[in-house]
């Protein structure tokens, strides 16, 4: 989550900075395997175990209105919010599965799978602004719920693992986790704000130019599936056509 939110907040520094980061991520070999092994399966595991724990625990908030008790309850509430947020968010931008039939017949017709990695900022901005203010509010709340869940979760994990056991140690750890949460929350809100404010047409022109330079410099392989023009057959609503792409023979010939 830290790496993901910092990467996304790089959009506040510029469309090119964010696009470079996404190019780096998408140049990793076996990306779908990495995604499933290190992101999706662990999150699904955490969600299943988390729901089981939340349903079997007993909150005593009605009897003891202590800060620790409130945090116990909020850990569960934010867990449920994070669950809904992550599954909706990954469907909204990533589409869950990359199979063409799934994307074309299920995800895209209902406004999901909106992120095009080689047009990162413009497709993100279009996705973010496709339902007025609704997606930005959803993202802001989702990000804050995830951040609380992580920061408070680290604190409770520290108790379970015996890292801070005395009341004093727990109080100190509380401050550290609070500071971490506030910082990561600001990073997440910066990302949400930057995605919402980006001008898609101007961003797309920059991205298309960056793609052209990379393909011509043999830094990446041409991949229309990762571009807005290629994926959506030129039907992207607010995007400009961008520069014409001349792919050298050596590149096209080798595939
Ligand atoms: C500021 C808010 C956020 C923005 C702008 C954002 C953006 C994105 C984008 C663009 C993708 C698609 C990546 C791709 O297909 O290459 C993605 C995927 C994902 N996001 Fe977020 N995200 C945000 C917050 C979060 C939060 C708080 C979580 C919580 C853990 C999260 C979890 C995920 C996961 C699990 C994926 C799928 C992983 C993957 O695509 O490889 N995101 N996000």
Report the atom number in ligand 1 closest to the C-alpha of 94: 15
* Cβ atoms of residues 222 and 251 within 8 Å: yes
Model-level pTM greater than 0.85? yes
Report the atom number in ligand 1 closest to the C-alpha of 82: 29
Q: Per the structure block, which two tokens stand in for 53?
A: 């724990």
CATH number of the domain bearing residue 125: 1.20.1300
- What is the number of structural domains in the chain? 1
Measuring from each residue's beta carbon to the nearest atom of ligand 1, which residues come in under 6 Å?
1, 4, 8, 35, 39, 43, 86, 89-90, 93-94, 115, 117, 124, 139, 142-143, 146, 188, 191-192, 195
- Residue 209 to residue 95: CA distance in whole angstroms: 26
Q: Report the separation in Å between the CA atom of 87 and the middle of ligand 1, taken as the mean of its atom positions.
A: 10
Q: Per the structure block, which two tokens stand in for 142?
A: 């989702």
> What Å distances lie between residue 122 and 199, 207, 219, CA to CA?
7, 8, 22
Helix, strand, or coil (residue 198)? coil
- Residue 77 to residue 69: CA distance in whole angstroms: 13
Q: Report the separation in Å between the CA atom of 1 and the middle of ligand 1, taken as the mean of its atom positions.
A: 8
- Residue 22 to residue 94: CA distance in whole angstroms: 13
Range 246-254, long-range pairs (CB < 8 A, 24+ positions): 246/212, 246/216, 247/215, 247/216, 247/222, 248/216, 250/218, 251/215, 251/218, 251/221, 251/222, 252/222
Report the atom number in ligand 1 closest to the C-alpha of 8: 5
* Cβ atoms of residues 124 and 92 within 8 Å: no
Torsion angles phi and psi, residue 54, rounded to 5? -60, -35
Q: Report the separation in Å between the CA atom of 251 and the middle of ligand 1, taken as the mean of its atom positions.
A: 31
* Parent domain of 239: 2-253
> What does each of the 255 residues of the chain score in pLDDT, given as a tens digit?
999 999 999 999 999 999 999 999 999 999 999 999 999 999 999 999 998 888 886 666 666 567 778 898 999 999 999 999 999 999 999 999 989 999 999 999 999 999 999 999 999 999 999 999 999 999 999 999 999 999 999 999 999 999 999 999 999 999 999 999 999 999 999 999 999 999 999 999 999 999 999 999 999 999 999 999 988 754 443 334 444 444 444 444 333
């Amino acid at each position: 989550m830290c790496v993901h939110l910092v990467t996304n907040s790089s959009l506040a520094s510029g469309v090119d900075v964010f696009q470079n980061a996404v190019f780096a991520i998408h140049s990793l070999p076996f990306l779908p395997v990495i995604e499933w092994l290190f992101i999706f399966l662990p999150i699904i595991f955490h969600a299943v175990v988390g729901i089981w724990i939340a349903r079997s625990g007993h909150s005593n908030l009605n009897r003891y209105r202590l800060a620790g008790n409130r945090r116990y309850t909020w850990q569960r509430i934010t867990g449920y919010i994070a669950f809904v947020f992550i599954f909706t968010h990954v469907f909204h931008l990533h589409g869950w599965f990359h199979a063409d039939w799934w994307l074309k017949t299920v995800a895209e017709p209902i406004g999901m799978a909106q992120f095009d990695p080689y047009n990162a900022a413009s497709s993100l901005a279009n996705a973010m602004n496709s339902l007025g203010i609704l997606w930005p509010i959803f993202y802001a709340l989702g990000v804050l719920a995830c951040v609380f869940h992580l920061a408070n979760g680290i604190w409770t994990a520290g108790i379970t693992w015996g890292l801070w056991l005395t009341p004093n140690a727990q109080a100190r750890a509380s401050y550290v986790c609070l500071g971490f949460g506030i910082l990561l929350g600001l990073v997440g809100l910066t990302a949400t704000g930057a995605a919402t404010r980006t001008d898609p047409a101007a961003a797309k022109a920059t991205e298309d130019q960056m793609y052209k330079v990379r393909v011509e410099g043999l830094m990446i392989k041409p991949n229309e599936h990762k571009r807005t023009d290629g994926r959506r057959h030129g039907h992207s609503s607010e995007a400009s056509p961008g520069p014409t792409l001349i792919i050298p023979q050596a590149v096209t010939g080798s595939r």
